[in-house]
A and B are shown apart, each in its own frame.
Chain A
Amino acid sequence: MIALVDCNSFYASCEQVFRPDLQNKPVVVLSNNDGCVIAANKEAKALTHIPMFEPVFKIKEVLKANNVTCFSSNYTLYADMSQRVMDTLREFSPNVEEYSIDESFVDLSHYPISQLDAIANEIKDRVHKNTGIPVGVGVAKTKSLSKMANKFAKKVAKNNGVYVVENEEKRTAMLKYFSLKDIWGIGRQHKIRVEKTGAKSAYDFTKVPLAWVRKEMTVVGERLWRELNNFPCHEMTIKVDKKKGIGTAKSFGYKLEDYGLIEEATSYYVAEVADLLRQQNSAASYLEVFLHTNSFSNTDKQYRNKIVITLDIPTNSTIKLTQEALKGLQKIYKPGYRYKKVGVQLFGLVHDTDIQTNLFYQPKKSESSKLTKVIDELNSKFGKNCVKLATVGNREKQWALIKEHRSPRFTTQWNELLTIGKSKS
C-alpha cells in the first residue's frame, strides 16, 4: 500500500509555524516579485469575495481591509521545512518518493493492512508535532487511488485528514464521491469523451469497458483506469531523471534600461543554471537568451526577442557559457526600452563524458574544469556566489526581485533566527 502525504497549504503553513499570532487567521504568499497570490491558507480561501488571482496591486486594499497577512515567497524556508517533513516520513518507510515540495508518496507495504489506519494517523500527528506542518494522508494500493484518498481525507470533515482505502467498500464510496473532473491526471478532452458514455462519477469511469478506454484515451487513460480499479501501474520512483533542459528566468525588481545591469543579471542566471548542469554531469549544446519588456504595461514601448546559440562543443563551464550568453544578449538588446525580464535556457544536454569535440578544436579541458571545480567547492563551502565572474557584478539590489514582505530565514541563517522576548514590537 502507498500513502500520499500532502501538506495543507504548505507555504502559508510554513509561515504560520513561526507566527503564533497568525493562527486561524488568513495568510497568503505572493509570487516572486510580489506580483500575485500563489498560496492561500484555508482562512484566506474562505474569503471568496477577494479575487485572489488578480495582480496584487489591484487587491492590496481588499486584502488589508480583511486582515489578510501577505508574505513574499521565502523559498529558502520552504525548502528546509519540506526537508524536515520528508525526513520525518522516512522514519516510517525507507521508500519515500518526493513528488513535489509539499507532497510525497510513502511505501507502506511493510505494514499489515489492519495497522494502516493507525499508521496513517500517526504519520499525520507526528509530522504535525515535529515540524508544525499539518498534513493529510491518503492510503491505497495504487498511486492514483492514494492521491484521491488524500483529497477525500481533506474534503470530507469526518475523515479528519486521513483516509485508508483498505477494502472494496471504502474504495467504492470514495470513487462515487468524486466527479470525473476530480480525477488526478484526466485531461479536459478525455473528460468530455468519457462524459459522452454517460459516466458522471469517478466510479462510473472505472466501469467503462477497458476496450473503449484503450481506444479513446490511449495508454495513459488505460493506466489511469487500471489504477482506479486497484491494479498498480505506477511504481514508486526514487531516482530523479536527469533534466533535459535547464533554465531560469525571473522578472527584474524594477524595469531596467541600463545594459550593464541586464548583463549582470544574465551572468548571474548563467552561473545558476551552469551549476545545476554540472551537478547532473551534463553539458549543453545550445544556449538560449531571451529578453522582454513588460507586456502588461500600457505606457511602455514593447519589445521582445530571443537568440539561440549553438555552442562549438557542448560545455558546462560557467565561463564559456557566460561569454556566449553575453554575446547573444548584445545582439538582441536594443537601447531605449524598459526591460522587465531576462532568461537563460540550456538544452541539447549530453553527458559530460561523451562530449564530441571537432577536428579543429581540442578543448583544454583540464584547465577550465579544474578552475570550475575549485570555484564550485568554494561556493559550496562559503555560500552562493562567494566566488563569481566579474560580469555578475555586485549591483544585485538594483535588479533582483522585490521581496518586501519576506519572513526571516529562521532555519538556515544564524542572524535571522526566530526571536522570543516581550520587548518585541
Chain B
Amino acid sequence: MESGKANLVEKSKKSYRVKRPSQTGFSSPATHYTEPRIDLNDALINNPSSTFYVRVIDDSFSEFQILKDDVLIIDKSLTPKQNQLAVITKEGAFEITRIDKDSKEEIQLWGVITYIIKSTL
C-alpha cells in the first residue's frame, strides 16, 4: 500500500467519468449511462476519522438484538439521542446501552452505534 495512506479508513476512489467503450464490435449503448457500483462506505460511514468497528463475542447484549459475531459500527463524533444505542464504559469495561435521557444515571459515552453488521449464514 502507499505509505502514509495505508491505514486510512477511506472512501473508495470511484470515478463518475464516462469510460471509453471497450467493446470490439458495437460500442455499448450504455456508454453514457454508467455509474460506479454501490459502495457500502457511502451508506454506512459518515465520518471515517471517528468511525470504529467492534466485534461482539457473545450473546450478553441479546436484549438489543445484538448477538455473537455481529460487528458494530460506531461513530464517536455523534452525540446520542433518546433511545439510540451506544457503547459506554462502566467500571473499566465496555457495555452497550440504550440512551435514556430521563435516567439520572451518569454514563461515560464511548461512541454511538450507527449500524450493526450481521451475517445470516
Per-residue CB contact flags for chain A residues 5-22 toward chain B (1 = under 8 Å, else 0) read: 000000000000000111
- Distance of A419 Cα from B87 Cα, bound (Å): 11
Given contacts A20-B92, A129-B76, A88 and B49 within 8 Å (CB-CB): yes
Interface check A170, CB cutoff 8 A: no
Of A22, A379, A412, A418, which one neighbours B7 at CB under 8 angstroms?
Answer: A412
Asked if residues A420 and B3 are in contact (CB atoms below 8 Å), the reply is no
Interface check B9, CB cutoff 8 A: yes
Given contacts A88-B49, A132-B76, A411 and B7 within 8 Å (CB-CB): yes
Query: In the complex, how many angstroms separate the beta carbon of B95 from the nearest chain A beta carbon?
Result: 8
Which residue of B is nearest A414, CB measured?
A: B53
Given contacts A21-B92, A130-B50, A421-B58, A384 and B76 within 8 Å (CB-CB): no
- Distance of A411 Cα from B87 Cα, bound (Å): 17
Q: Among residues 92 to 150 in chain A, which have CB atoms less than 8 Å away from a CB atom of chain B? A: 126, 129-132
- Distance of A279 Cα from B58 Cα, bound (Å): 44
Given contacts A131-B76, A417-B71, A420-B72, A279 and B52 within 8 Å (CB-CB): no
Interface check A423, CB cutoff 8 A: yes
Q: Which residues of B contact A403 (CB under 8 A)?
A: none
Query: In the complex, how many angstroms separate the beta carbon of B114 from the nearest chain A beta carbon?
Result: 14
Query: In the complex, how many angstroms separate the beta carbon of B51 from the nearest chain A beta carbon?
Result: 9
Which residue of B is nearest A382, CB measured?
A: B1
For A132, A418, A419, the residue with the greatest tally of chain B CB atoms inside 10 Å of its CB is A418
Which residue of B is nearest A18, CB measured?
A: B52
Of A129, A276, A384, which one neighbours B1 at CB under 8 angstroms?
Answer: A384
Query: In the complex, how many angstroms separate the beta carbon of A79 from the nearest chain B beta carbon?
Result: 5
Interface size on B, residues (CB 8 A): 34
Interface check B8, CB cutoff 8 A: yes
Interface check A181, CB cutoff 8 A: no
- Distance of A32 Cα from B95 Cα, bound (Å): 33
Asked if residues A422 and B58 are in contact (CB atoms below 8 Å), the reply is yes
Interface of A is mostly: helix
Given contacts A87-B49, A130-B47, A279-B3, A421 and B57 within 8 Å (CB-CB): yes
Given contacts A20-B94, A279-B3, A421-B60, A131 and B50 within 8 Å (CB-CB): yes
Asked if residues A419 and B55 are in contact (CB atoms below 8 Å), the reply is yes
Interface check B45, CB cutoff 8 A: no
Of A129, A379, A412, A420, which one neighbours B77 at CB under 8 angstroms?
Answer: A129
Interface check A305, CB cutoff 8 A: no
Asked if residues A276 and B3 are in contact (CB atoms below 8 Å), the reply is yes
Interface check A424, CB cutoff 8 A: yes
Q: Which residues of A contact B108 (CB under 8 A)?
A: 20
Q: Which residues of A contact B87 (CB under 8 A)?
A: 420
Interface check A160, CB cutoff 8 A: no
Which residue of B is nearest A86, CB measured?
A: B49
Asked if residues B8 and A380 are in contact (CB atoms below 8 Å), the reply is no
- Distance of A139 Cα from B93 Cα, bound (Å): 36
- Distance of A424 Cα from B94 Cα, bound (Å): 11
Of B49, B54, B60, B95, which one neighbours A417 at CB under 8 angstroms?
Answer: B54
Q: Which residues of B contact A84 (CB under 8 A)?
A: 49-50
Per-residue CB contact flags for chain A residues 201-220 toward chain B (1 = under 8 Å, else 0) read: 00000000000000000000
Q: Which residues of B contact A323 (CB under 8 A)?
A: none
Q: Which residues of B contact A21 (CB under 8 A)?
A: 92-93
Q: Which residues of A contact B52 (CB under 8 A)?
A: 410-411, 418
Which residue of A is nearest B74, CB measured?
A: A418
Which residue of A is nearest B75, CB measured?
A: A130
- Distance of A76 Cα from B89 Cα, bound (Å): 25
Asked if residues B92 and A418 are in contact (CB atoms below 8 Å), the reply is no
Q: Among residues 377 to 425 in chain A, which have CB atoms less than 8 Å away from a CB atom of chain B? A: 379-380, 383-384, 410-412, 414, 417-424
Q: Which residues of B contact A80 (CB under 8 A)?
A: 7-9
Query: In the complex, how many angstroms separate the beta carbon of A64 from the nearest chain B beta carbon?
Result: 19
Asked if residues B60 and A422 are in contact (CB atoms below 8 Å), the reply is yes
Of B7, B58, B94, which one neighbours A79 at CB under 8 angstroms?
Answer: B7
Interface check A248, CB cutoff 8 A: no
Asked if residues A83 and B7 are in contact (CB atoms below 8 Å), the reply is yes
Residues on A facing B (Cβ under 8 Å): 20-23, 76, 79-80, 83-84, 87-88, 126, 129-132, 275-276, 279, 379-380, 383-384, 410-412, 414, 417-424
Given contacts A20-B93, A417-B71, A418-B52, 6 further A-B contacts (CB under 8 A): A20-B92, A275-B3, A420-B87, A420-B95, A421-B60, A423-B60
25 A-B contact pairs sorted by A residue (CB < 8 Å)? A20-B92, A20-B110, A21-B92, A79-B6, A80-B8, A83-B8, A83-B49, A84-B49, A129-B76, A130-B49, A130-B77, A131-B50, A131-B76, A275-B3, A279-B2, A279-B3, A412-B7, A418-B54, A419-B57, A420-B56, A420-B96, A421-B58, A421-B60, A421-B68, A422-B58
